[in-house]
Amino acid sequence: MSNYAFSSGCAGPRARIPRHACDCHIHVYDGVYPAAPGARLLPPDASIAQYRALQRRLGLTRAVLVTPSTYGSDNRSMLAGLRQLGTAGRGVAVIDGQECDSALQTLHDTGVRGVRLNLSLGVVGSIDMLEPLAARIAELGWHLQLLMSADQLAALRERLLRLPAQLVLDHMGRLGPGAANRHPAHALVLHLLREGRAWIKLSGGYLLSRSGSVSDPALDELARSYISAAPRRVIWGSDWPHATASAGRQPMPDDAEQLDRLAHWAADDSLFKQILVGNPEDLYGFDGFPPEDLPETV
């Protein structure tokens, strides 16, 4: 399947993309690995070779692979992709917290720097795993990446404030248009950011938009509130290959347009670079610099 199937456009972004820019949220899918029982998203295969083509179009060089809900706690597809990315990649795994020290160290050596608890579409894990997972990964310096509804996030305020690990909140905290300064989860996220306890991914805006639009102006207030609160705690991700769009649930987004929207929110070249380069380096611990000339195939 061509890369065109995973994006609605073919031109690059209008914004000038800084060197070593990172896409902090992508998935890979491979039919070699079976879907977990009950998985609700079953997208077509999406390979690192296909993502490399998108990287070249967008001007990106680093990426963070996240094990998708499709595979439950089976990280094999993510790890295979991570090995192909090499030093230009980092990973976020799904674990049950019962893994031995050596298993977690192997994940770390491969480039994993966090674990995800998906309470929106995930088919493994539960809210009861918050504290055990955070305790299990704290010594490794990993973060706990959370995806849940805004109502659920707000209800967990006191528990989240006590966790020993850093938090990363997926998809703008799952706060939709109109939630900024209105929903209690927004105040909580701003507090976590300002206190240095969490990071926010400006990803999946099209998932939150009522129109499914990458450039929905209704998201501007929310995105800018995060940037203003803690500019060094904001990262960006494309959510490639857009599994929900592949399933026909919304329009397929143009990833170049997503980057241009980030530039619009940042409204400053140095801040745009901080979000795409400096902040991912701090969170994921990228070593050195990735190659400037990406290969045609992997």
Instruction: Kindly write down the DSSP assignment for every residue of 27-69, as one continuous string.
Output: --B-TTSPPPTT-S--PPPB-HHHHHHHHHHHT--EEEEE--G
Three-state SS at 121: coil
Using alpha carbons, select from 168, 192, 203 the residue that is nearest to residue 22: 203
Residue 169, both tokens: 């909140």
User: Does residue 109 carry a catalytic annotation?
Assistant: no
State how far the Cα of 30 lies from the Cα of 47, in Å rounded to an integer.
Answer: 7
State how far the Cα of 26 lies from the Cα of 109, in Å rounded to an integer.
Answer: 20
Given 23, 170, 239, 254, the catalytic residue? 239
The CB density around residue 94, as the number of other CB atoms within 10 Å, is 25
State how far the Cα of 45 lies from the Cα of 241, in Å rounded to an integer.
Answer: 9
Positions marked active-site: 239
